[in-house]
């Protein structure tokens, strides 16, 4: 179903090597993290305070998603990072957005989630000055999401933004699997006695 996996993305998913935003915009690049496939990345950087060099932005696996690490921002300047990507998996149940701004920096993230239509399923907004702040949205078991993130950054210092979509299997799936395995175990035990 999917094209060949980009080698750097495999290193990142396994915890080895370093991946950057530059790696993710390569043709056929994708990340597979915690049962979620992230692919079709597009990145735009605007503003005088942020580097246009995408190799300066690290990408780190975190939970079922990834974190973008921004090394530094020019003091008293800022900018905007626009990310577009697709997230797919079995029964995506919720999306979460977490951001952390270093002291002296401020950050606003607007996330739009699309399920294949032009109208967004959800719009999440997180604004932060220092420390972590999060928001979550219930997805009603979708298999594919189109994500659009707009990250506005002001100030100086180090800054990290986390972009996470989490896969949680349906409880009924686990119950059916458990009941089936129990039934097979009882059948095998009964058969071995005769």
- Residue range 130-149, pLDDT digits in tens: 667 777 788 877 888 888 88
Contacts of 147 (CB under 8 A, 6+ apart): 83, 84, 85, 86, 87, 95, 111, 112, 113, 114, 163, 165
Measured between alpha carbons, how far is 99 from 106 in angstroms, rounded to an integer? Answer: 10
Single pTM value for the model: 0.70
Question: Which residues in the chain show pLDDT less than 50?
Answer: 1-16, 159-171
Residue 14 to residues 10, 38, 99, 129, Cα–Cα distance (Å): 6, 15, 24, 32
CB proximity list for 65: less than 8 A, separation 6 or greater: 33, 34, 36, 38, 96, 162, 163, 164, 165, 166
Instruction: Name the strand (E) or helix (H) holding 83.
Output: strand 78-101
Q: What pLDDT does residue 29 have?
A: 93
Helix (H) or strand (E) holding 9: helix 7-14
CA distance 73 to 88: 32
Can you read off the two tokens belonging to residue 161?
């933004």
Please tell me the predicted confidence (pLDDT) of residue 8.
30
| pLDDT the model gives residue 193 | 72
Predicted pLDDT at 131: 67
CATH numbers and ranges of domains, the chain:
7-169 (2.60.120)
Q: Residue 86 burial (CB < 10 Å; 0-12/13-18/19+)?
A: middle
pLDDT of residue 17: 53
User: Quick one: pLDDT at residue 21?
Assistant: 92
Q: How much is the pLDDT for 72?
A: 67
Q: How far is CA 123 from the centre of its chain?
A: 16
Tokens coding 94: 């919720």
């Amino acid at each position: 179903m999917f094209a060949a996996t980009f080698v750097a993305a495999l290193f990142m998913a396994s915890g080895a090597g370093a991946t950057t935003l530059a790696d993710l915009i390569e043709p056929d690049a994708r990340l597979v993290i915690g049962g979620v496939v992230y692919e079709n990345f597009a990145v735009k950087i605007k503003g005088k305070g942020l580097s246009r060099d995408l190799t300066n932005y690290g990408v780190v696996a975190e939970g079922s998603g990834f974190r973008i690490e921004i090394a530094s921002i020019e003091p008293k300047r800022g900018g905007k990072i626009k990310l577009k990507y697709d997230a797919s998996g079995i029964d995506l149940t919720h999306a979460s957005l977490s951001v952390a701004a270093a002291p002296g920096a401020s950050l606003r993230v607007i996330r739009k989630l699309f399920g294949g239509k032009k109208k967004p399923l959800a719009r999440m907004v997180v604004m932060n000055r220092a420390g972590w702040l999060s928001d979550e949205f219930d997805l009603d078991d979708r298999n594919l999401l189109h994500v659009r993130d707009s990250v506005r950054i002001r100030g100086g210092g180090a800054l990290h933004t986390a972009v996470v979509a989490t896969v949680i299997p349906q409880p009924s799936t686990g119950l059916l699997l458990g009941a089936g395995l129990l039934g097979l175990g009882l059948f095998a035990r009964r058969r071995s006695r005769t």
